[in-house]
Copies of this chain bind each other. A is one copy, B any other.
Amino acid sequence: MAPSTPAKSKAAAGITADKVTTAATELTARSGLDGWSVRDLAAALTVYPTVIYHHVGDREAVLHAVVERVVAHMPCPPADLPWREWFTEFLWEGREVLRRYPGVARRLCLAGPTVPSALRIIDRGVVVLQRAGFGDQAVAVYTFLVGTAFLHVPLEDERSERVDERLAARDVFLAHGRGDDAPGLATVAAQLGGGGRSPEELTRTDELHYRSILELSLDGAAARLAHLRA
């Protein structure tokens, strides 16, 4: 059977842009945004690749639609929360969603406000910051908080695909464990020594790491707020 020939047995007649996006989103959940080709997507729909072009457009257009779909599923905490709680909740739950669709976080950070679904979140986030007293710094602080947090998600995405490379990196540090020549690396080694090697433990480490990043960036924002009030 030729690879680009749809199986006639299970022809999904009446393709729409919506069905294409749904299928693309499912493929993304399974193998990431870079894990499928236009031809794979067509095959999943038992359709010729050109049908994708007809209903949605080129690969870029499909990716955009997937990002839009995923962002639409992101939570948007109530506007009456205090700023620190609002961002803690949004960034924590946002991570959960983004992690289910590897590769989307990176494109979201890139595309940013091009995605219509993101507008309601941006609007509320900025309002929450303004009410807290950030004034005209609200936009800069919003960008910093969301960018810092979500930029770390794709890092986790790709690192989880390379567990062995990650363990190798760890061993490099551990080799400097008691080295007087490199006291900084020895510290890193000591820090890493406690963690385990299993995938579950690595996931747990990622979680703690993310929480640490959240708190540090929220502290940075808090410091700026204190400075503005002084």
Contacts and interface: CB of A to CB of B under 8 A. Distances in A.
For the complex formed by this chain, how many copies does it contain in all? 2
A155 B159 contact: no
5 contacts: A113-B169, A126-B185, A148-B213, A216-B221, A219-B220
Interface in A94-112: 109-112
Contacts of A138: 184, 187
Q: Which 10 A-B pairs have the closest CB atoms?
A: A220-B220, A126-B184, A123-B184, A219-B223, A151-B151, A216-B220, A127-B184, A219-B220, A139-B191, A113-B169
Interface residues of A: mostly helix, strand, loop or mixed?
Answer: helix
Q: For A144, A155, A159, A216, which residue has the most chain B Cβ atoms within 10 angstroms? A: A216
Contacts of A216: 140-141, 144, 217, 220-221, 224
A114 B172 contact: yes
Interface residues of A, number: 53
A187 B127 CA distance: 9
A112 B170 CA distance: 10
Interface in A177-192: 182-185, 187-188, 190-191
A222 interface: yes
Contact of A183 (B112, B127, B191, B219): B127
A83 interface: no
A138 B172 CA distance: 18
Interface of A: 109-114, 119, 122-127, 130, 136, 138-141, 143-144, 147-148, 151-152, 155, 158-159, 165, 168-169, 172-173, 182-185, 187-188, 190-191, 209, 212-213, 216-224
A136 B114 CA distance: 41
Nearest to A145: B216
Given A140-B212, A219-B219, A220-B221, 5 more contacts: A110-B155, A138-B184, A139-B187, A144-B212, A147-B213
